[in-house]
Each structure stands twice: as structure tokens, then as C-alpha cells.
């Protein structure tokens, strides 16, 4: 079954507990996707460890934390302490990627890896036997409201192919531009976890939006 990971940055921060509780209690979602941006690796600045620690107290959902930061290896232990279940780091931001991923796993978290849309998916081959999740960025990281980059389909297809050929255990995740026009393409290519922000958190209602996305995945 294809799973939806609502992106917390699109939620109502003035009433964040209410939105999280709706996702947890009224939908089939297991994951909350949490984007952390430092204003350097990407232009924008978002939430950090204190916020994640505070919402960890109100939910038992799995925290799928995506670090869009320079030198993420500096913060691995911090994000473990504040409640991350999956910690995803960028190929481009980490000099010693293999070491950083091993560190994540040694602390009991699931290790995720991702790359920018312009970086070839083949660059991740040396760590695919180590990771628990591969995130395909289908937009450039750091901004909302972007259009789906079609080359992302090729990346998903290759990850699905390698997973079958070599027996890898990673989850294939996609983030960016997911809507009624792009979701079926991603699912057909082999994606297993879909990050959705504004498609979940909008005036139509969280429960209804998740159910609609799930229907489109079938």
C-alpha cells in the first residue's frame, strides 16, 4: 500500500496540535514529514530541534525528518534526542556520507539519503545497501509551490529496479509537486511513500484530502 507522509510545514502553526491530532487519529498516515532548512544549503529557514521536541510530546507518529542543512553530521545526535525516527541527509551537503549514515543507524534511527534534482541518481549507488529510505526530490529543495520535475520519474524507476535486482530494503519516497496530475506517474514508477503538504493541509479538510490522495494511488 502506498503511504502518505503529510508535510508539517504546510500545517497551521497557530493550531499545530489540532492538525497533528487529525492526521494521527482520523487518517491512515503513519509518518509526519518534517523539513529542516538552515538558510545556507537552501535559502529559506524553517523549524529546528526545539519545535520537533515540543511536538514529539503530543504524538506517537513516526517523524520523517529531512535535513536541508550544511554539514548535517553536526546535528545527528541532536535530532535523535528531539525525537526523529528517520533522518534524511543530502548527498551534496555531506563530505563523509557513508560515515554519517552509519552514525544515524548506530543511534537507532532509520537512515535516509536524498539528492537535488540536478544530481544523477547513480551517485547514490555506493550507499544504497546501507540506507533505509531514499528520498527523490521532485522539486528544488527549499521552496513550496514548485512544479514537478519530470526527470524524477526516471530516478524512481531506477531505484525500484535496483531494489528488485539487488534485494535492497530502502523505502522509495518522493517530495515535491505531488498532486492529482503527478501522483499516478510517481506510483506507477515505484514510489512507496508520498510527501504531501498543501495537498493535505488546506481548507477542504485533512481527512478528506488524505483519503482523496490514497484513492489516486490505487
CA dihedral 144, 56, 51, 106 (to 10 degrees): -80
Based on the residue annotation, tell me whether 175 is a catalytic residue of this protein: yes
Catalytic option among 64, 85, 132, 175:
175
Catalytic option among 19, 35, 38, 64:
35
Q: Tell me which H or E stretch contains 183.
A: helix 183-189
In our burial notation (b when 16+ CB lie closer than 10 A, e otherwise), range 125-162 reads: eebbebbbbbbbbbbebbeeeeebbeebbebbbbbeeb
- If you ran DSSP here, which 8-state letter would residue 45 be given? B
Based on the residue annotation, tell me whether 19 is a catalytic residue of this protein: no
- Non-local CB neighbours of 173 within 8 Å, separated by 6+ positions: 5, 64, 112, 133, 134, 135, 136, 191, 192, 193, 194, 195
Q: How far apart are CA 75 and CA 95, in angstroms?
A: 14
- Active site positions, annotated: 35, 175
Amino acid at each position: 500500500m502506498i503511504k502518505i507522509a503529510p508535510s508539517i510545514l504546510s500545517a497551521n502553526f497557530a493550531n499545530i496540535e489540532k492538525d497533528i491530532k487529525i492526521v494521527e487519529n482520523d487518517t491512515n498516515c503513519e509518518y509526519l514529514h518534517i523539513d529542516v532548512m538552515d538558510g545556507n544549503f537552501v535559502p529559506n529557514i524553517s523549524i529546528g530541534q526545539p519545535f520537533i521536541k515540543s511536538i514529539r510530546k503530543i504524538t506517537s507518529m513516526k517523524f520523517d525528518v529531512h535535513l536541508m542543512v550544511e554539514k548535517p553530521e553536526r546535528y545527528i545526535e541532536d535530532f535523535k534526542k528531539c525525537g526523529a525516527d528517520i533522518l534524511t541527509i543530502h548527498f551534496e551537503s555531506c563530505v563523509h556520507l557513508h560515515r554519517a549514515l552509519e552514525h544515524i543507524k548506530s543511534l537507532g534511527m532509520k537512515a535516509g539519503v536524498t539528492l537535488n534534482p540536478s544530481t544523477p541518481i547513480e551517485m547514490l549507488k555506493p550507499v544504497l545497501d546501507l540506507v533505509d529510505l531514499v528520498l527523490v526530490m521532485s522539486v528544488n529543495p527549499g521552496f513550496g509551490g514548485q512544479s514537478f520535475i519530470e526527470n524524477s520519474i526516471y530516478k524512481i524507476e531506477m531505484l525500484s529496479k535496483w531494489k528488485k535486482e539487488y534485494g535492497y530494503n530502502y523505502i522509495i519516497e518522493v517530495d515535491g509537486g505531488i498532486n492529482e496530475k503527478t501522483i499516478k506517474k510517481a506510483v506507477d514508477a515505484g514510489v512507496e511513500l508520498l510527501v504531501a503538504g498543501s495537498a493535505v493541509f488546506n481548507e477542504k479538510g485533512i481527512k478528506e484530502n488524505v483519503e482523496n490522495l490514497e484513492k489516486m494511488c490505487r
